[in-house]
């Protein structure tokens, strides 16, 4: 396997963005996931970005040979007032810019290191490839809001 694992992260971002472009149709009512967490368009975008930032920081620490920073996010448990705001076309553009840049950063970061680093054992942490594979599920957050251009 020599294909850049960072590409997997970029693909997850693209899948998310296909849903995000439909969110200006959101009716303002929070949505409940199967596991009982509440989501809105803004919260889903925040969680996608935060999840990527968390793992990007982890990758940088692992490559630098220093301990990773403890995860103290409130993550999906937090619903802020900003999460409840209407989601506009401008919000779509901002999400596209933010998430596309983060996705591209993963592609470039993985490309910048020797491919041997991708599968290097970093116990107790995941390998860099495992981190990228984990992030293929980023679009789960977007799926909690779904495609709002389609009737339920």
Domains (range + CATH), the chain: 6-145 (1.20.120)
Does 1 have pLDDT greater than 60? no
Does 81 have pLDDT greater than 60? yes
* Residue 152: band (very low, low, confident or very high) from pLDDT cuts 50, 70, 90: low
Q: What is the pLDDT of residues 24-67, one digit of tens each?
A: 999 999 999 999 999 999 999 999 999 999 999 999 999 999 99
Give percent helix, percent strand, percent coil of the chain, each to the nearest 5: 60, 5, 35
Gap between the Cα atoms of 115 and 106, Å rounded: 14
Query: Which long-range contacts link 42-46 to residues 24+ away (Cβ below 8 Å)?
Result: 42/82, 42/83, 42/84, 42/85, 42/87, 42/91, 43/76, 43/79, 43/80, 43/83, 44/20, 44/141, 44/142, 44/144, 44/145, 45/20, 45/91, 45/95, 45/98, 45/99, 46/83
Does 2 have pLDDT greater than 70? no
* Token pair recorded at residue 149: 């251009």
The fraction of the chain above a pLDDT of 90, given in percent, is 89
Report helix, strand or coil for 135.
helix
Q: What is the mean pLDDT of residues 89-118?
A: 98
Contact call for residues 85 and 56 (beta carbons, < 8 A): no
Nearest to 6 by CA among 132, 125, 112: 132
């Amino acid at each position: 396997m020599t294909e850049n694992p960072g590409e997997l992260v970029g693909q997850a971002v693209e899948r998310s963005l296909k849903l995000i472009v439909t969110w200006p149709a959101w009716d303002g009512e929070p949505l409940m996931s199967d596991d009982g967490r509440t989501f809105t368009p803004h919260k889903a975008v925040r969680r996608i970005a935060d999840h990527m930032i968390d793992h990007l920081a982890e990758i940088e620490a692992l490559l630098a040979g220093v301990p990773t920073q403890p995860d103290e996010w409130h993550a999906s448990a937090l619903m802020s007032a900003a999460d409840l705001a209407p989601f506009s076309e401008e919000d779509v553009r901002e999400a596209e810019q933010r998430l596309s840049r983060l996705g591209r950063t993963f592609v470039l970061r993985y490309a910048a290191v020797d491919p041997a680093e991708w599968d290097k054992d970093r116990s107790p942490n995941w390998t860099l490839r495992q981190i990228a594979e984990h992030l293929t599920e980023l679009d789960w957050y977007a799926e909690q809001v779904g495609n709002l251009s389609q009737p339920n």
